[in-house]
Structure 1
Amino acid sequence: MNEFNEMGLCDFVAREASLLDDGRFDEWLALFAEDGRYWVPLLGRAQHDAQSHNSIAFEDRLLLQLRVDRLKDPRAHSQHPASRCQHVLQNSRVEQLDVDAGSATLRTPFLYIEARGEQQLMLAGSYHHVLVRTPQGTRIQLKRVDLLGAERALPAVQLFI
């Protein structure tokens, strides 16, 4: 995944979703830059920043690490039975690419299905990844998840959309 071009970046987004589907949360977290953020705006596309309005989630690496640790803890009540997920992605579209600066923005429409026991949840929306080139390879500086109908009451999502 060292190639910082359209094909390589689109493959990176697909690999990120695959790691979540496989429950490889530590490997998924390693894809984030040190200053990386995971953001699920409460107002979807209408919300332009995380500070002026509440969000469903706005987490830095430390908070993401805490969530990953909770998912791995055998005493986590919310994971009996364990949650599983499936990300169904449409093709990613590169909206901005600056090879010289090592930054790119991609948009990826998705369906997210999470199952736990007899319960199943399905959400739809679009991802907006801001990817950066680092000495360690491509990393996520921001993963923004714009959910369709994000402002409505949503059930608890146990994993990462």
Structure 2
Amino acid sequence: MTGVPSDPLLRETALCDFVAQEAALLDEGQYEQWLDLFTEDGRYWVPLLGRFQEDVHSHNSIAYEDRLLLQLRIQRLRDSRAHSQHPPSRCQHVLQISRVEDVDEQAGTAVLRTPFLYIEARGEEQLMLAGSYRHLLVRTPEGLRMQQKRVDLLGAERALPAVQLFI
């Protein structure tokens, strides 16, 4: 990335603030508002091989979900009969500073990489995962939106416990 983009939405501060706000929505359980941050063709992807997986078609993934599948997951989390949510799960995202990897002002896109720790708690159990996010953000009439959120977990290929919420 060279120079400062003239579009305020594509400036580093706005991009990093978007990533922080996205994590805050998840931590606050505001899943519907989080889903609204995705474009209509947006994808949430957790590759099985972490950062070594080039694309979704070359190998299995832990998760590869479009808006419909994300919406179904949110409905399941909200369902009072969901056994996995008695007691309810809570999460906390601890983010390092996002690094802007690319901005294409003409296309209205930006790519950010953000190292993270993810903690999920339910009852007396707690799970901690680490890795990095790769957000592909696009400028839309409504503001920035995620076209893809990729979650590269450290040790993703090992047996993982069930994650109830969104990493």
- Same fold by TM (over 0.5)? yes
Structure 2 gaps, min length 5: 1-7
Match for residue 109 of structure 1?
Answer: 115
**Paired letter, 2:121:** A
User: Is 1:15 aligned with 2:21?
Assistant: yes
Deviation at 1:3, TM superposition (A): 2.4
SS of match in other structure, 2:62? strand
SS of match in other structure, 1:150? coil
Whether the 8 Å contact between 2:9 and 2:139 is mirrored in structure 1 is no
SS of match in other structure, 2:57? coil
Match for residue 152 of structure 1?
Answer: 158
Deviation at 1:118, TM superposition (A): 0.4
**Paired letter, 2:31:** F
- State how far apart, in whole Å, the 2-side matches of 1:43 and 1:36 are: 21
Q: How does 1:66-145 map to 2 (within 5 A)?
A: 66-145=72-151
RMSD of Structure 2 on Structure 1 (CA): 0.8
Match for residue 39 of structure 2?
Answer: 33
- State how far apart, in whole Å, the 2-side matches of 1:69 and 1:60 are: 14
Whether the 8 Å contact between 1:39 and 1:145 is mirrored in structure 2 is yes
Whether the 8 Å contact between 1:5 and 1:99 is mirrored in structure 2 is no
User: Is 1:24 aligned with 2:30?
Assistant: yes
Deviation at 1:100, TM superposition (A): 2.2
For these two proteins, the number of residue pairs brought into alignment is 160
Misfit runs of 4+, over 2 Å: none
**Paired letter, 2:41:** D
* Deviations, residues 1-23 of structure 1 (Å, cap 9, x unaligned): x7221110100000000000000
Structure 1 gaps, min length 5: none
Identity %: 76
Name the TM-score, length of structure 2 as normaliser. Answer: 0.94
- State how far apart, in whole Å, the 2-side matches of 1:96 and 1:146 are: 18
- State how far apart, in whole Å, the 1-side matches of 2:97 and 2:135 are: 13
SS of match in other structure, 1:3? helix
Bigger CA drift: 16-25 or 44-53?
Answer: 44-53
Name the TM-score, length of structure 1 as normaliser. Answer: 0.98
Deviation at 1:98, TM superposition (A): 1.3
Deviation at 1:42, TM superposition (A): 0.2
- State how far apart, in whole Å, the 2-side matches of 1:48 and 1:136 are: 30
Match for residue 5 of structure 2?
Answer: none
